[in-house]
Structure 1
Amino acid sequence: MSTTRNTRRRLRAGAIAAVAAAAALVLAGCGGDAKAGTGPKLALDAALPTTVPAGAKIVVGDPTTQKALELSGQLDKVSSFVQFANLSGGPQTIEAFRAHALDVGSVAEIPSIHATWTGLHVKIVASKFRQDPIKHPIYELGVAPGANVQTLTDLRGKKIAFSPGQAQGALVLKVLKKAGLTKDDVKLIELPSTGDVYTNALAAKQVEVAPIGGVQIKRYLTKYGKDGATTIPHGLRDDAGHLYVQTESLEDAGKAAAIRAYVAAWGVAQDWIDKHPKEWIAGYYVKDQGLSAADGQWLVDNAGRPDISANWSDAITRHQETIDLLAAELGKPVIKAADLYDLRFQSVAADAIKAAGAGR
């Protein structure tokens, strides 16, 4: 076995172990109990209760919004019924759902699909996108030094980092389709897209292309640009962000009311982040995340403005396109995107933002 293959396997195994260990620590340490059934039964087509009853509790994995609520002075509005867990993203939230340790998770487009494929019953209760998403994408395609990839058609024959259960993996498949390529035209290297795994793999030339996002784009170019590292745009929408829940939590009337109240607070928090960039940079990116003020400003400048709509029709259409592509490429059954959305929540966040604006 070649040294390169050994290194790749060590990188993959180490990353997977790190994800598993982090999830175990979070689940063990959050002390939350997200088991449903303590409140009155609520039908999934019944009107959502608008008052959170005393004693209702939900466990929420959404650390970014938690910090926004703290910085904006809004945390007290949910603290009586929300317990925050320091986790987010597909792998961790699915693991927490299975352990009945989580009611609400913050994810991108893919986890709700994979959760359903693995037998979990989940619903999306909030959706956020970006205005002008092509100009302000979440990811760019990182290119390893010397890989000579300048356009999407140059991906043919390249080693590309691939995480099938995460947003980055779906993006890779979408990019290949846009370029007129198939999986057989490239070499997909399965790696989890956590932490610095992708940028390290690029720097070590274990992969030649990988979707990287956030401040990793800036840091990758700063650190390895002198060696020939580059990024190229993919030109696709990659801006979906959701809150999703287990269906069983929505069947508990107390939890459903708490989830509705949290979605409203979540919407106001996203609006606050958009309208208070200086406070967000200082309080979140610098103080909480340990980034420099320059990195924080770069993230704000490249994020664009949020788009939280009271109508999910377009979002569901795009989600169905993603499902159809993944099902075909991964050999999975086609599911209906509309079944993943709980339309009772469709206008909750947008209405809360309007109400908060009117009250200022």
Structure 2
Amino acid sequence: MPRRGRTRTLTRAALLATAGLLALSACGGEEAGPKLELSAALPDAPSDDTVLRVGDPATQVALETSGLIDDLDIDVEWANITGGPKTLEAFRADAIDIGSVADIPPLFAHWTGTDVRIVAARETVDPMEHPTYELGVAPGVDVASIEDLKGKKIAYSPGQAQGALVLNVLREAGLTQDDVEFVEMQSVDDAFSVALAGKQVDVAPLGQTLAKTYLAKYEQDGASTIDPGVRDDAWTLYTPTTVLEDADKAAAIKEYVAAWAQAQQWISDNPDEFAEAYYVDHEGLTPEDAQYVVEALGQFTVPTSWDDVIARHQETVDTLVEAQDQEPLDVETLYDRRYEKAIAAAVEG
């Protein structure tokens, strides 16, 4: 009989309080498993007492709602953490083992001294028809196309996907950083929509959830959104390399990425059910807004070959190296392709 995983969810406050205590502890939490070289084959299964600490609430909801969680043969401790800054904060506090983010946070983790690896990737089936972000426009500001961004104040988060999106949009519009004014801030919670509403910025990238709620509040005052006109659908799971050097954790991640891939397919096949479970029950959207978001985001696909994913990621790296004077990086060195094979086996098997 397979061992069924137990799950437990921590709130972010409880998680980071625990992390603070762990940071003061000499032992740093649970006992590590056997040492595993990053070039070694992944073990078949973790030891029975292994717990994988996961910051991936959307997948948690998908697994629970679909019933796929019953097939997850590892113990998982869920953390309600999303976004690049919060995930990296949790990594550095040794509070989670794996997080779900876009393609920019792993780059900035590397560039700011946290050694990480990407262990899974997801794309959108029709990325240009279903952008992840809209460009929010402040009330009273005249921006009808990306060419109108010239001379505007734009919210800019250099360590997040929204920052790379802004750079790509400017390039697509034939503009440079000198043609606009960047207002640097982190896109956490609703910071960008608040900045727009207060007219601290003219334009800011908003995820589809925030775009919908922003328009609901401020469209009557003249707020609007426009399509960014560039591809922005890259999504990853990533983890500190120290986690992958623990044989039990590395094996648990192999189990998790397989379940994660199946969950992404379930989300695509069951958008109405996911909208209700995640966007309404978990995120607090109205049913109408939840339906809008799932339709806007479209269907997901989990590639079983990472060649094209890595090539596009390298283009993003090169853009950031040029625009932000970052250190050159061969992005393939951040991908742990052992998990590419594990995902392929789960998706194709």
TM-score by length of 1: 0.87
| 1:167 CA displacement | 0.6
Q: Which residue of 2 aligns with 1:26?
A: 15
Q: Which residue of 2 aligns with 1:259?
A: 253
Q: Does 2:288 align with 1:294?
A: yes
Q: Which residue of 2 aligns with 1:101?
A: 95
- Asked if 1 retains the 8 angstrom alpha-carbon contact of 2:72 and 2:255, the reply is yes
| 1:133 CA displacement | 0.2
**1:62 partner amino acid:** D
Single out whichever of 220-229 and 196-205 deviates more from structure 2: 220-229
- Asked if 2 retains the 8 angstrom alpha-carbon contact of 1:267 and 1:350, the reply is no
Going from structure 1 to structure 2, the CA distance change for 1:37 and 1:177 (only over 3 Å counts) comes to: farther
Going from structure 1 to structure 2, the CA distance change for 1:322 and 1:205 (only over 3 Å counts) comes to: same
**1:189 partner amino acid:** V
Q: Deviations over 1:268-297 (max 9, x none)?
A: 111111122232122222222221111111
- Asked if 2 retains the 8 angstrom alpha-carbon contact of 1:37 and 1:252, the reply is no
Going from structure 1 to structure 2, the CA distance change for 1:35 and 1:313 (only over 3 Å counts) comes to: farther
Q: Which residue of 2 aligns with 1:157?
A: 151
Going from structure 1 to structure 2, the CA distance change for 1:207 and 1:277 (only over 3 Å counts) comes to: same
| 1:205 CA displacement | 1.2
Seq. identity, %: 50
Going from structure 1 to structure 2, the CA distance change for 1:249 and 1:221 (only over 3 Å counts) comes to: same
Name structure 1 gaps, 5 residues minimum: 1-21, 356-360
* Counterparts of 2:252 and 2:305, CA distance in 1: 22
**SS, match of residue 58 in structure 1:** strand
Q: Deviations over 1:117-157 (max 9, x none)?
A: 11111100010010110100000111112211112221111
TM-score by length of 2: 0.90
- Asked if 1 retains the 8 angstrom alpha-carbon contact of 2:118 and 2:336, the reply is yes
- Asked if 1 retains the 8 angstrom alpha-carbon contact of 2:57 and 2:80, the reply is yes
Aligned length: 334
**SS, match of residue 267 in structure 2:** helix
Name structure 2 gaps, 5 residues minimum: 1-10
| 1:26 CA displacement | 3.4
Going from structure 1 to structure 2, the CA distance change for 1:151 and 1:278 (only over 3 Å counts) comes to: closer
* Counterparts of 2:225 and 2:54, CA distance in 1: 34
* Counterparts of 1:137 and 1:287, CA distance in 2: 24
Q: Which residue of 1 aligns with 2:297?
A: 303
* Counterparts of 2:35 and 2:302, CA distance in 1: 30
* Counterparts of 1:214 and 1:197, CA distance in 2: 15
- Asked if 2 retains the 8 angstrom alpha-carbon contact of 1:48 and 1:257, the reply is yes
| 1:320 CA displacement | 0.9
Superposition RMSD in Å: 2.0
**2:163 partner amino acid:** G
- Asked if 2 retains the 8 angstrom alpha-carbon contact of 1:162 and 1:192, the reply is yes
